Amino acid sequence: MNNGGVSISSGRRVLLPDYLAGAADVPVTYYRESAAEYPLDDVEVYVPPYMGGPEGLALMARMPRLRMAQLLTAGFENALAHLPPTVTLCNAGGVHDASTAELAVGLTLASLRGLDDFARAMPISSWLDGRRVSLADRRVVVIGAGGVGRAIERRLLPFETDVVLVGRTARDGVHAVADLPGLLPGADVVVLAVPLDASTRGMVDARFLASMRDGALLVNVARGPVVRTDDLLAEVERGRLRAALDVTDPEPLPADHPLWRLPGVLISPHVGGNTTAFLPRARRLVAEQLARWEAGRSPLHIVAVGR
């Protein structure tokens, strides 16, 4: 592992977290916890730490030669406020598709089949038999037709489901967001897999939720603010809808928040992408991005340039 600030052959300095060691065929600087302890003046390519918070992103302002920042998350909204002019920002497209899709299916199955109820009943030796809802024969509307949404669809189809994909615009096999008013009343499960931006913030509001059929399940593996929490809370408190949430707004959810204790709600602590599948896929992506950078080619998964 090189912690000495070695310049790569073209003179460009690359700064990566040490758990990506082996991802590059060129000399780089690896940092252990924070890049702040290393010289930043000549850094041109920077990978902030995964789930490192605003501190790692804020370091971009101290890198005057920075030209590309490669995130290790699919979401990029938190990085935009820290992005200097002329810096190309790339997200981790494809890195978290498998893990997040697994969790989306897992949350759906757990909620429909009552696995969370069974787990809570074990300490009191309660035998909760009875008929539960099968995933088979359900109609699942997946909102978000990018890598994660497609990965969810591929995993749902073998369960004998009817999957409807929804994207920003209509295309072959994908409905437009504008079609949602006609799709939601027929959905047994609605899965959110969209990025957070101005068009998706608060999209799941009282009107959206009122369009869902009684007993339907909302699964959120996108970002918490895609859903208006108070509106969801009102529907779940009435017992009309169920929810399985890997993300919440606010996040983490306060200990006294009623969503923790409501029947029909299953919460996981934003762990969609944080699995053993993360590192090998992250290393492959970073290796590809550095190879493109060295060859003077455009990187993959550009989400923003400057502010």
Going by C-alpha positions, the residue among 187, 175, 178, 106 that lies closest to residue 141 is: 187
Distance CA 227, CA 250 (A): 11
Closest by CA position to 72, among listed 294, 262, 277, 296: 277
Strands ordered across the beta sheet of 302-305: 29-31, 13-17, 43-46, 68-70, 88-90, 302-305
E strand or H helix at 286, and its extent?
Answer: helix 278-294
Residue 261 among the catalytic residues: no
Gap between the terminal Cα atoms of the chain: 34
Task: Specify whether 270 is catalytic.
Answer: yes
The label of the residue with tokens 């995130």 reads 71
| Given the residues 251, 257, 292, 294, the one annotated as active site | 251
Instruction: Give the Cα separation of 214 and 65 in Å (integer).
Output: 55
Tell me which of 270, 281, 283, 301 is the catalytic residue: 270
Q: Which one of 223, 228, 281, 301 is the catalytic residue?
A: 223
Catalytic residues: 223, 251, 270
